[in-house]
Amino acid sequence: MIYNKIIEGIFLERPNRFLAKVIIENKEEIVHVRNTGRCRELLVPGAKVILEDCRNNPNRKTKYSLISVYKGDALINMDSQIPNAVVFEALKNNQISEFQNLTYIKREVTHGNSRYDIYFEKEINKGFIEVKGVTLESNGIARFPDAPTERGRKHVLEMIQAVKEDYIGVIFFLIQMENPKEFRLNWKMDEKFSSAVNLAMENGVEILAYDSIVNKNRISIGQRIKIDLTK
């Protein structure tokens, strides 16, 4: 996925989940943050950030959207709107080895009482993919979630029901950075969600984790990452 126009800035502070103060071209600006998660280990005063320039949209209240942040030398995409699109694009381009030559794919599909990120078909098989964007990393270990997520737990349990109805069910963790050593569940942050993921695996739901290739104006699918779901 490509961002058409980007600009660099320096993060100052985050007065609420949706807004941040950033220095852009020597001027303090209020910008939109495309991630309502905590991201406390990323958004620290003085961090260099990448923003999408949205000044050509007259309907916006802010001129810029914060999309990525440097953590040391590593660039981490933290745009929560982008993981679904990245995985969908990769599926269309046969870039995910587990899902080659799909005959049909569609985003945001409702089935029963559930709304799944991606629906796919291949020959006689049909399935759903739920995508979770991952931005939390420490010492090469990527983790999810970075805050308790009852909504996320609900999505995982709904996927178990889909598998019971003979659909393929997949929980796909897209790590929005390059080259983590491993993906793990964040049991300390949300034991209920982590337990639900393990229950899903035991009931036939496939759990996948991929990293991303992240540049200033682009993010695309990377390679499959080792998973450790144990507590």
Provide mean pLDDT across the span 23-48: 93
Q: Give, as one character, the DSSP assignment of residue 122.
A: E
Looking at the predicted structure, is the pLDDT value of residue 48 above 90?
Answer: yes
Looking at the predicted structure, is the pLDDT value of residue 51 above 90?
Answer: yes
Cα-Cα-Cα-Cα dihedral sign, residues 196, 201, 203, 204: positive
pLDDT, one tens digit per residue, over 67-94 is 999 999 999 999 999 999 999 999 999 9
Q: Which CATH architecture has domain 6-77?
A: Beta Barrel (2.40)
Looking at the predicted structure, is the pLDDT value of residue 40 above 90?
Answer: no
pLDDT, one tens digit per residue, over 181-228 is 999 999 999 999 999 999 999 999 999 999 999 999 999 999 999 999
Looking at the predicted structure, is the pLDDT value of residue 172 above 90?
Answer: yes
Looking at the predicted structure, is the pLDDT value of residue 1 above 90?
Answer: no
Domain ranges of the chain: 6-77, 83-228
Selection from 143, 162, 173, 155 nearest residue 203 by Cα? 162
CA atoms within a 13 Å half-sphere pointing along the CA-CB vector of 174: 30
pLDDT, one tens digit per residue, over 95-148 is 999 998 899 999 999 988 888 999 999 989 999 999 999 999 999 999 999 989
Residue tagged 């600009």 (tokens): 7
| C-alpha distance from residue 40 to each of 23, 37, 142, 163, 225 (Å) | 18, 9, 15, 36, 24
Which two structure tokens, joined as six digits, stand for 35?
């991630």
pLDDT for 165 equals 95
Identify the band that residue 60 occupies on the pLDDT scale cut at 50, 70 and 90. Answer: confident
With a CB cutoff of 8 Å and minimum separation 6, the contacts of 227 are 173, 182, 183, 184, 207, 208, 209
pLDDT for 112 equals 80
Looking at the predicted structure, is the pLDDT value of residue 163 above 90?
Answer: yes
**Per-position DSSP letters for 3-56, written without gaps between them:** -SSEEEEEEEE-SSSSEEEEEETTEEEEEEES--S--TTT--TT-EEEEEE-TT
Phi-psi sector, 198: left (phi>0), alpha (psi -120 to 50), beta: alpha
Q: Which CATH architecture has domain 83-228?
A: 3-Layer(aba) Sandwich (3.40)
Provide mean pLDDT across the span 21-34: 95
Looking at the predicted structure, is the pLDDT value of residue 57 above 90?
Answer: no
Provide mean pLDDT across the span 46-56: 94
